[in-house]
Amino acid sequence: MNTDSAAHRGAGRAPHPFAAARPTTGGTVRRTLLRTALTGAAALGAGLGAARPAAAATPTRDTEPRPATLTRDTRPRPATPADALRELAAGNRRWRAFRERHPHEDPALRRTLATGQHPFAVVLGCIDSRVPPELVFDQGLGDLMTVRTAGEVLDEAVLGSVAYGVLELAIPLVVVLGHQSCGAVRAAVEAEESGTKLPAHMQYLVDQIGPAIDRGKEGDARIDATVSANVRLVRSRLAAEPELAARIGTGKLAVVGARYELSTQAVHRLA
């Protein structure tokens, strides 16, 4: 990520919090196998530190019973960038280990949310059906404000949505979340290589992702490198927005880039 130090100014340097097994498809089987635990994965710490994705290990299944009923999480909502990063890291750890709490879904909380919301993070992610932020980070109703476009592409509506969360709701953290095997990035790379135009509005996506294409690599390596480069580009554009930059400068906001690895279910920060 291009301006990590600026994003965390005033919050101190925090250890790495995101990382871990191979997805499949097919109803309930997909939901079960998607989240195999990574034994020996790097531990997710108290902040969101830069790291490479952990290598997948032999998948294991957590046999610890889940709670019979959902309980309300009464802990204070994260109010600083560092606190928000720690909460997302903890949720991703639970997701990877089959220990999801599914917080903030009980009837009382649902009634409370009818009168207002206080999300602690904006997640700008891809539309890919395999990467729903609320599941990946094990968060519940009212926790995350999610904005999803193919390839995390920005437009005025996306910029306005992120700005609303930060400026109107005082959200302290924005995460640009790319992911392994992104179809939009692949389409952009292949369209550039072949010189073909995509139909209808899809060409807009290609044009926006184009500047991030890594031309120093070939084949699948180029696509994978472009996924990360695109996250960094989008993060930099968001962090450069004047009103967001002002909040970053005072330590009230962090804008970070991260990747979700489909093969391990780990989220790790892009430096």
> In the block, which residue shows the tokens 């097919």?
26
CA-to-CA distance for 160 and 126, rounded, in angstroms? 17
* Cα separations in angstroms, 186 against 7, 130, 146, 162, 183: 29, 16, 23, 25, 5
Fill in the DSSP letter of residue 64.
P
* Residue 126 assigned as binding residue: yes
CA-to-CA distance for 248 and 121, rounded, in angstroms? 14
Please give the helix or strand (H or E) that residue 125 lies within, else none.
Answer: strand 121-125
Tokens, residue 178: 């790319």
* Planar angle of CA 256, 120, 132, nearest 5 degrees: 70
* Residue 182 assigned as binding residue: yes
**What one-letter code names the amino acid at 47?**
G
- As annotated, the binding site for Zn(2+) includes 126, 128, 179, 182
- As annotated, the binding site includes 126, 128, 179, 182
